[in-house]
Structure 1
Amino acid sequence: MRESSQQRQARIAEMVRDRGIARITDLADELGVSVVTMRRDVEELARRGEVRRGHGVARSLRPMPEETAAGSDAIAMVVPESNTYLTEAVQGAREAAEKAGLRLALHITAGYGGAEREAVRQALDAGARGLLLSPHWRTRDEADADQSWLSALDVPAVLVERRPARTSASYPLDCVRTDHAHGVHLALEHLTGLGHRRIVLAARDDSPTARTIRAEFAEQTAARGLAEGCGTILSSPTAGPDPHAADPRAVDLAETVVRSGATAVLIHSDMDALVLVQGLQAAGIRVPDRCSVVAYNDVVADMGSVPLTAVAPPKAELGRTGVDLLLRRLEMARGGLRPGATRHLELLPDLVVRGSTQQI
């Protein structure tokens, strides 16, 4: 006689209690039902409070031995201090971790060399079984210096908004980042579509994101035949690799606009954009009448006196995807499965058009 859904769900609950954790696909194979049916059964059991549903798994309500030993900080996220850009990524990661029945421990790193390594050591000492990492990497040398210890980690790790060089020892780590080349493309497509041909990039130079934006701006303006009219400056005196020293590349934006005849500016990041727009307005360069402005990051771009058109990376989705990649690794390790293929994911940003750009 065919088993009823109630009988099948009772068996599932018993199997999960005995094992502590079970993959949805494994349960479906063992009980001879489709994955869709198994997901529906597990959702019903979770609704009744008989199991916990995780990412592709069903968990017992009893703490597993490794969870008891490690406390509630099952996974950890390490991010740089004073980085408002990653705040939404952290929130997205926390939501995804909580949905999977785990608590995310946040570790903030200062700007000195070795800070990430010390934060990771503390996270592992506290029992973290997996890591989400966003190293400072202000320079390529900093990134190179981290390769040996990153590749030697004995717990699963995922890089968030970072991608190691192809020749580096940490290249086999999973990672998720924004496709910033596409972000620059969106900004230039928007501005050139409005008729702008002389565009200044005012950008930071203290992270992999900043370096990508600078490189892509140079490459893409050249490909459009605009290189001669499109220059690059530093977006603030402390936006270089050394945050404590004034960088001579940070020239006056208003002067640059006047001298170059620029009619538009792309500014990375939002905070710098708000300051620089105020400087333009104070110098009598009205936005967008005299100069259109596109910000990059879209954290606070809408909060200025002129709401700024902005490239908006999928910040919360970065965090959620990072947790998904990490959970996949943890589940493989727990099930004694061979590691799957490394995943390097890129998520596309959007362009949010506001009042700081117009046709010329």
Structure 2
Amino acid sequence: MLPAERRARVVELLRRDGVVRVHELAVRLGVSAITVRRDIARLAREGVVRRVHGGATLELPATAPTSGGPGSGAVACAVVGLVVPSLVYYWPDVVRGVREAADELGLRVVLRGAGYAPDDELRQLGALVDSVGVDGLLVAPTTTGSQGAALVRWLRSAEVPVVLLERDCGDPGPGLLESVVSDHRLGTASAVRHLAELGHRRIGLCASAGSPTAPHLRRGWRRACEELGLELDGVPEASTCDHRDPDWSRQLDALLDRCRDSGTTALLVHSDPEALALVQRCQERGIAVPGALSVVTYDDEMAELCDPPLTAVRPPKAAVGRAAVALLAARLRAAGDRPVHRVVVQPELITRGSSAAPGVG
């Protein structure tokens, strides 16, 4: 049976029975539940049916969205699956942006946390598609290692539209993987330029070894230093463990020793917990911040709570969430071919008390 014939059969059954269930349709049509959900999603986008929990019903003219309203078009009433690696740090603002944009469009968001574990991410995504029957996915997946590669392959073959949050798979490859990312390289460069304008010539970097953001920070830091003619020889470029790791204190002291020995007067630190711990250790060792060492943190989740308040690069988290919903909604509305979109949003530099001219403060 051709796809068009199969969808016509779904509509025929709806006219007869009023409501159809996904699993019943799958058995009756001899196809997978995922195929049925894809058919229902397409019919819903065309305004023929209305999705209900576990199935669909015919769309009545009286319930159709009013043309021109905020939820107008095929996107209204769609269900969006949202999978993020943390519900505590960084990602709550992204989730807030997603929810704000979804509410404006009449979308329902189903949120899941996956804890930076590819197997859990895949399990959550599969459940959202197979059990919840979402119309599209917003996800910040693991993309590195063999498990990450397998997860990306799954996303590329997903039968619903996918928009990546703060992730970029690089090679376009097969499948429609759109993305919205913060321009972390530009954000890092803005911090380096700020410090250089204050008179710093040796600006180091401390980045979390396991963070997917770290490679972008390194590229942005190095390129900005080279473009500004800053010293790099001997300047620390540290890849540190998490601040909760037992080896953190040793690595932190080693980094501060390298700053002292190399004459490094400023340091860009990712992320906020590591930056706060570094400033605290500076105080314990009698290293004045910003007098002896200016510190700029990357994330701005808790930077203002430090003493002194930390100058910070703030990624546009809520804007990333809003832009991702807009991309997904546009994909759901698209009647024909639509180019793959990749959106880049600029971070903001927030100047506070932890950065000053060398020897000042």
Gaps of 5+ in 1: 1-15, 25-38, 43-52, 68-73
- Partner residue of 1:87? 92
Contact 1:144 1:168 in 2 (8 A): no
Distance 1:157 1:249, change over 3 A: farther
Contact 2:187 2:348 in 1 (8 A): yes
- Partner residue of 1:126? 132
Contact 1:130 1:156 in 2 (8 A): yes
Q: How much has 1:224 moved relative to structure 2?
A: 3.0
Q: How much has 1:123 moved relative to structure 2?
A: 1.3
- Partner residue of 2:6? none
Q: How much has 1:19 moved relative to structure 2?
A: 7.5
Gaps of 5+ in 2: 1-58
Contact 1:312 1:350 in 2 (8 A): yes
Q: Does 1:57 align with 2:73?
A: yes
Instruction: Supply the AA of the counterpart residue of 1:18.
Output: P
Contact 2:86 2:113 in 1 (8 A): yes
How far does the alpha carbon of each residue in 1:10-36 deviate from its partner, in whole angstroms, 9 at most, with x for none?
Answer: xxxxxx961754685xxxxxxxxxxxx
Q: 2:300 aligns with which of 271, 276, 298?
A: 298
Measured on the aligned residues, the alpha-carbon RMSD in Å equals: 2.7
What is the rounded CA distance, in whole Å, between the counterparts of 2:345 and 2:75 in structure 1?
A: 30
Q: Does 1:256 align with 2:254?
A: no
Scaled by the length of structure 1, the TM-score of the pair is: 0.75
SS in 1 for 2:325: helix
What is the rounded CA distance, in whole Å, between the counterparts of 2:66 and 2:225 in structure 1?
A: 49
Report percent identity of matched pairs: 35
What is the rounded CA distance, in whole Å, between the counterparts of 2:326 and 2:269 in structure 1?
A: 32
What is the rounded CA distance, in whole Å, between the counterparts of 2:139 and 2:120 in structure 1?
A: 12
Q: How much has 1:219 moved relative to structure 2?
A: 3.0
Q: 1:273 aligns with which of 272, 275, 279?
A: 275
What is the rounded CA distance, in whole Å, between the counterparts of 1:89 and 1:59 in structure 2?
A: 21
SS in 2 for 1:110: coil
SS in 2 for 1:57: coil
What is the rounded CA distance, in whole Å, between the counterparts of 1:190 and 1:224 in structure 2?
A: 11
Q: 2:196 aligns with which of 187, 192, 198?
A: 192
SS in 1 for 2:204: strand
How far does the alpha carbon of each residue in 1:202-249 deviate from its partner, in whole angstroms, 9 at most, with x for none?
Answer: 1113233111112322233233332215321134x337xxx9785899
Q: 1:148 aligns with which of 116, 137, 153?
A: 153
- Partner residue of 1:182? 186
> How many residues are matched?
297
- Partner residue of 1:358? 356
Distance 1:244 1:357, change over 3 A: closer
Q: Does 1:216 align with 2:220?
A: yes
What is the rounded CA distance, in whole Å, between the counterparts of 2:281 and 2:75 in structure 1?
A: 56
Q: Does 1:233 align with 2:238?
A: yes
- Partner residue of 1:101? 106
Q: How much has 1:145 moved relative to structure 2?
A: 3.0
SS in 2 for 1:144: helix
Distance 1:142 1:181, change over 3 A: farther
Contact 2:75 2:329 in 1 (8 A): no
What is the rounded CA distance, in whole Å, between the counterparts of 2:139 and 2:187 in structure 1?
A: 22
SS in 1 for 2:233: helix
Q: 1:312 aligns with which of 311, 314, 317?
A: 314
What is the rounded CA distance, in whole Å, between the counterparts of 1:162 and 1:346 in structure 2?
A: 11
Contact 1:234 1:251 in 2 (8 A): no
Scaled by the length of structure 2, the TM-score of the pair is: 0.75
Q: 1:18 aligns with which of 37, 54, 61?
A: 61
Contact 1:201 1:265 in 2 (8 A): yes
What is the rounded CA distance, in whole Å, between the counterparts of 1:167 and 1:330 in structure 2?
A: 20
Q: Does 1:328 align with 2:330?
A: yes
Contact 1:21 1:58 in 2 (8 A): no
